[in-house]
Amino acid sequence: MKKGTIPKTPVTSGKSGTPRKPAPPEQPETSPRGSRKGNRYFVLFFFLFAFILYGNTILNKFAVDDNYVTNNQQVQRGLKAIPEIFSTHYVNQQGNLGSTSADYRPVVKATFAIEYQLWGNKPGRSHLVNILLYWALSVLLFFILKRLLKNYNILFPFMITLLFMAHPVHTEVVASLKNRDEMLAFICGLGSLWFLLNYSDSKKGRFLLYAGVVFFIGYLCKTAIFPFLVISPLVLWFFTRMSGGKISMVFALIFVMILAAYFIPHMFLPKIQHTNYFIENPLYFEKNVWIRLGTGLVSLLFYLRILVYPYPLLYYYGFDMIPVTNMANFWAILSLLIHLALFIYAISKFHKKRLVSFAILWYLLAVAMYSNFLVPVVGIVGERFIFNASLGFCILVVYAIFKIFKTDPRSLTIEMDSRLKILAVLILLMIPYTVLSVSRNRDWRNLFDLYRTDVKSLTNSAKANVDYAGFLMNTVYQDENFLRYGNVNQYKYQTIITHFRRSLALYPKNYQTINDLGTVYLFMGKNYDSAVYFLKSAIELDSTMQPAWVNLGMAYRDQKQFSKALECYEHILKVNPNQIKAVFAMADVYNDMGDFDRAVKMNQDMMKRYPNLEMPYVNIGNYYMLKTDTATAVSYWEKAAAINPSYELCVQLNSLYLLKQDQEKAAYYYRLGEQIAKQSQ
């Protein structure tokens, strides 16, 4: 051998003499100071980009479901409500057709109570908190990707994070305050993963404990964290040298946290009250497994479509936006082939720990719980359901961009020509994504804008048409011109009728929609024939429900068919003797019939039974007003206002005292009415 030459011998393990593959090249070490400085630039960039994307949401008000979660009496008690929030269900809704008491997400609801304590009823500031959470989520995601892809060029995790941030499908999660639960669950999933990576590196048990606690908190934000039960072990398998036994231990730990977060609250929570509706998801009532599978596969194809082409974005879908179908459907077969091919490819590369395999499995695991295969989801599909899974999609897209230009993402140095081409493609994606996100945020300004905009693309959604018609109906019922003079905007009236009828054309058996349409014809249109027809149709559909009976009695009363009206109220009281609204309605009928004494007596009986109820005083005041006994009417109305003042009652008393030239009392009821109006906004 010549002097100075290196013998060409294989690198061996030192035991058996078998060749050992050289370790992959590590990234060059950088000084901690330089690394921290670079990290600060990334954090600042993500901060600015988050505000570019969602800064305009600060101008938004409350939107879908916020009255049940973020803008309700419980939350408005501030910090005092937190013990109650942690001991009650997430949604507590009372309605004419029953009550809803379901889910347990106390951490999310507590954040809104804290915000109310800090600055009151200011949705713009809560939207600001959502933006900051999205920024924090993006920063955490970037540093986890940077850590997992430590042998990749820094441009690779940076581009994945940017694409994830900009994807318009996330607008529902960020622009809707109610959907903060999705962000918090995802943050906790990533936070738990961060501690698991620390445990993998250091073998210190405290990191395992931290991971379990953070996962437990995440489950109390929303069950959307559930996919991390499998995703976290998957990450450890692909990107660490942790043994199979320890990965199994991690899986067991997370599973225990899920069980604890699920069963502990059920020890003290009241019984769940929840009704599933056909227009939300017909699969609630479907037992045929092939229809479940067929519809589920079409749902999965929908998710792929909105990731590739995120337009139009809609606040709700439901029946009949996604067809209920069996496995013979073309789109179901196509979806099966696509997802089966993805799964087979991912599994075939699983042992080689290929990044593409990891990204596909992340996507499939995250989207699986919303596939409708086992458990139907509200709305059949939803953009918020793809939030977690979209990360797998973004990884695949960025990887594909690198491969198109034949650039290895693991190259520590990338030629300027390739770098510019890669960035150019990213920018071509980012510009329309950003424009669409910013534009979509404006649709979430308030309920009216959201419903009015989206319903144009939701002609086949029975629920969306009901939502829009119901919202307009409530605005009419709360309008002062309607309350005082019975005036109704005819365009609004026709719009309400159109969308209620459109919903019934899609699903004719919806009791609530039939009843609501009957009331619109009755109170707004004074179209008694149509009102009676639809109210009777509702009763034929379900004679045990009371709202249609109440409204039918009112229709007969307005037509002066008093005996028929009394029959309706007697039927209600026969089924439910404690239905006080029926008692008041009967008293009104007797007063119309000229039996003043009986009408007053029925209300006086209610005073004795319910001393803290204002309605008997309001009713008797009305009877005396009809007899032109203003003084007695006012005395009863003032007693009602002392118990529970309403805006309408304050307006009435203000007007009467102005006529009497009693400026002091007129001013008092004016101020009280204004105060009530502000509280209801």
pLDDT digits (tens, 9 = 90+) for 193-203: 999 999 999 99
Confidence of residue 14 (pLDDT cuts 50, 70, 90): very low
Q: Is the pLDDT of residue 78 over 80?
A: yes
Distance between CA atoms of 253 and 241, rounded to whole angstroms? 19
Which residue reads 């009394």 in tokens?
566
pLDDT at residue number 1 = 42
Q: What is the mean pLDDT of residues 137-163?
A: 97
User: What integer pLDDT is reported at residue 66 of this predicted model?
Assistant: 83
Q: For 604-653, write each residue's pLDDT tens digit.
A: 999 999 999 999 999 999 999 999 999 999 999 999 999 999 888 998 89
The fraction of the chain above a pLDDT of 70, given in percent, is: 94
Whether residue 7 has pLDDT greater than 60: no
Give the pLDDT score at 163.
98
CA atoms of 600 and 583, how far apart (whole Å) = 11
Compute the average pLDDT of residues 62-84: 88
User: Is pLDDT above 60 for 4?
Assistant: no
Q: 388 falls in which pLDDT band (50, 70, 90)?
A: very high
In this model, does residue 238 exceed pLDDT 70?
A: yes
User: Residue 671 above 70 pLDDT?
Assistant: yes
At residue 548, what is the residue type?
Answer: A
| 170 DSSP 8-state letter | G
Q: Is the pLDDT of residue 131 over 90?
A: yes
- Range with lowest mean pLDDT among 8-17, 267-276, 354-363: 8-17
pLDDT at 46 over 50: yes
> Which residues, 6+ apart, have CB-to-CB distance to 409 below 8 Å?
149, 152, 153, 155, 156, 398, 399, 402
CA angle 451, 114, 261 (to 5 degrees): 85
Average pLDDT, the chain: 91
State the pLDDT at residue 239: 97
pLDDT at residue 384 tops 90: yes
Q: Can you list the alpha helix ranges (DSSP code H) found in 176-227?
A: 180-202, 205-221
DSSP-derived secondary structure for 69-107: HTSSTTGGGGGGGHHHHTTS-SEEEEETTEEEEE---HH
Residue 392, pLDDT score: 98
Q: Which of 16-30, 304-318, 606-620 is the least confident region?
A: 16-30
Residue 47 reports pLDDT greater than 80: yes
Q: Which of 259, 239, 266, 236 is nearest to 249 (CA)?
A: 236
388-415 average pLDDT score: 95
The least confident of 31-35, 84-88, 440-444 is 31-35
What is the rounded average pLDDT of the residues 371-383? 95
What is the mean pLDDT of the segment spanning 259-277?
A: 90
Closest CA to 69 of 105, 45, 99, 94: 105
pLDDT, tens digit, 9 for 90 and up, residues 457-504: 999 999 999 999 999 999 999 887 887 788 999 999 999 999 999 999
Task: Please tell me the distance from the alpha carbon of residue 367 to that of residue 381, in angstroms, as a whole number.
Answer: 11
- The half-sphere exposure of 526 on its side-chain side, counting CA atoms within 13 A, is 7
CA distances in angstroms from 389 to 227, 370, 561, listed in the order given? 9, 10, 60
Over 50: is that where the pLDDT of 9 sits?
no
**How much is the average pLDDT of 345-352?**
96
Whether 423 shows a pLDDT value over 70: the answer reads yes
- pLDDT tops 50 at residue 22: no
Evaluate the CA torsion angle 257, 258, 263, 266 in order and state its sign.
Answer: positive
How far is 653 from 657, CA to CA, in rounded Å? Answer: 6
The full set of domains in the chain, from first to last, is: 461-577 (1.25.40.10)
Instruction: Report the pLDDT averaged over residues 354-371.
Output: 97
Q: What is the model's pLDDT at position 91? A: 87
pLDDT value of residue 96: 62
